[in-house]
Amino acid sequence: MDGSPVRQSANLILLGAPGAGKGTQARLLAERFGLTQISTGELLREAAKAGTQAGAAAAEIMQRGDLVPDEIVTQALADRLDAGDVGGVIFDGYPRSVAQAHALDALLAARGRTITAAISLDVYPESIAERICGRFTCSTCGEGYHDRFKLPQIAGECEVCGGGDFSRRVDDTTETVLTRLATYAEQTAPVEEFYANRALLKKTDAMGAIGAVASRLSACVEEALA
């Protein structure tokens, strides 16, 4: 892990449609650059699993493909930022609206941090449903797989931890994906312009193999951290 001050205080945002590969790529970048990946989707799924009141409310909304109310998500994010020394952070799934982009500014300012860069993962809209509907995850270590693009080398066995238990997200259905995409177009797409106006936006071609996208993104992050 690189402990340089720039990386330790980095605040990188990954933007992109559902299924663009934010989770997969954030995981790789976090490992490569020694950053903490904070995924609001994951935080909400954990809250739902833990059965907290906010978690139960969020679960129902997520299953529909709608956005969880700002007060729930922003609180979950604040709690995560304050849970120990997070170091440099890569945000995955937040902000998802211009209001959340403002909330993130305030959250970071209160902690003496500022945004380093927002990197968008650009994919063809036609590819999204296929990407989402085939994906599954190792229940033990969280490694992501895909029915068409990335099956475990040994069927039924996670390549990273050797686990044999996999899960699929309840919101990864064709019906929910359509709502998620509409929500993205309406509420999240304008966030790109918000960061472009502040000269913080970097765009990356996120089509192609996971490794190829990871290389392009890494170059982008190197540049942002330089």
**Minimum CB distance to ligand ADP, residue 175 (Å):** 13
Q: Which of 216, 174, 202 is nearest to 14 (CA)?
A: 202
DSSP string across 114-179: ---EEEEEE--HHHHHHHHHTEEEETTT--EEETTTB--SSTTS-TTT----EE--TT-SHHHHHH
CB 132, min distance to ligand ADP, A:
6
Q: Is residue 41 part of the contact set for ligand ADP (CB under 6 A)?
A: yes
What binding mask, one character per residue, do residues 97-116 give for ligand ADP by CB under 6 A, x or -?
---x----------------
Catalytic machinery residues: 22, 96, 135, 169, 180
Strand order from edge to edge, sheet including 144-146: 144-146, 135-138, 166-167
Which member of 44, 121, 123, 220 binds ligand ADP (CB under 6 A)?
Answer: 44
Binding of ligand ADP by 73 (CB under 6 A)? yes
Figure out which of the listed residues 38, 48, 54, 68 binds ligand ADP, where binding follows CB under 6 A: 68
In sequence order, what are the beta bridge partners of 122? 205
Is residue 152 at the binding interface for ligand ADP, with CB under 6 A as the rule? no
Of positions 7, 27, 96, 202, contacts ligand ADP by CB under 6 A: 96
Nearest to 172 by CA among 12, 51, 45: 45
Contacts with ligand ADP: how many residues (CB under 6 A)?
19
Give me the least distance between CB of 171 and ligand ADP, in Å please. 6
Question: What is the amino acid identity at position 175?
Answer: E
Asked whether the beta carbons of 221 and 29 are under 8 A apart, the reply is yes
Please say whether the beta carbons of 139 and 152 come within 8 A: no
Site residues (vs ligand ADP, CB under 6 A): 18-19, 22, 40-41, 44, 61-62, 65-68, 73, 93-94, 96, 100, 171, 180
